[in-house]
Amino acid sequence: MPRTFAAGASRSAFHAVNSLRFFRRPPVLPGFVPSFGFSVLYLSLVILLPLSALLLYVSDMTWAEYWQAITDPRVVQSYKVTVSGAVYSTVIVTAIGFVLAWIVSRYEFPGRRLIDALVDLPFALPTAVAGITLSALFVPTGWLGRWFEPLGIKISYAYPGLVVAMIFTSLPFIVRSLQPVLEDLEPEFEEAASTLGATRWQTFWRVLLPSLVPAMIAGSSQAFIRSLGEFGAVIMIAGNIPFQTEITSLMIFVRLQEFNYPAAAAIASVVLIASLLLLFLLQVVQGRLLRRT
pLDDT at residue 29, as a whole number = 57
- Based on its alpha-carbon atoms, the radius of gyration of the chain, rounded to whole angstroms, reads 26
For residue 95, the model assigns a pLDDT of 94
Whether residue 9 is predicted with pLDDT greater than 70 in this model: the reply is no
Rounded average pLDDT over 58-81: 90
CATH number at residue 217: 1.10.3720.10
pLDDT of residue 28: 58
Query: Rounded to an integer, what distance in angstroms lies between the CA atom of residue 268 and that of residue 54?
Result: 8
Per-residue pLDDT of 235-274, as tens digits, reads 999 888 889 999 999 999 999 899 888 899 899 888 888 8
Residue 112 included in any domain:
yes
Are the C-beta atoms of 177 and 99 separated by less than 8 Å?
A: no
In a domain, 261, yes or no: no
Q: From CA 245, how far away is CA 237, in angstroms rounded?
A: 10
Task: Determine the pLDDT at residue 183.
Answer: 84
209-235 residue pLDDT tens:
888 888 898 899 889 988 988 888 999
* Domain annotation covers residue 286: no
217 domain residue, yes or no:
yes
**Global pTM value:** 0.79
**Rounded percentage of the chain residues whose pLDDT exceeds 70:** 86
Query: What gap in Å lies between CA 114 and CA 91, rounded to an integer?
Result: 25
Residue 6 domain flag: no
**Which stretches within the chain are classed as H helix?**
2-23, 32-43, 49-59, 63-70, 73-106, 112-118, 121-124, 127-138, 145-148, 159-184, 187-195, 200-203, 209-228, 232-237, 248-257, 261-292
The answer to whether residue 101 sits within a structural domain is yes
Nearest to 250 by CA among 228, 225, 272: 228
Alpha-carbon distances, residue 226 vs 14, 89, 122, 196 (angstroms)? 54, 11, 12, 42
In angstroms, the CA 176 to CA 100 distance is 10
Of 118, 57, 50, nearest to 266 by C-alpha is 57
Q: pLDDT tens-digit profile of 10-46?
A: 444 444 444 444 444 555 555 666 777 777 777 767 6
Does residue 167 lie within any of the structural domains?
yes
**Domain total in the chain:** 1
Nearest to 161 by CA among 219, 78, 229, 246: 246
**Range(s) of the domain holding residue 120:** 81-247
d(CA 166, CA 125): 14
Say if 44 falls within a structural domain.
no
**pLDDT higher than 60, residue 283:** yes
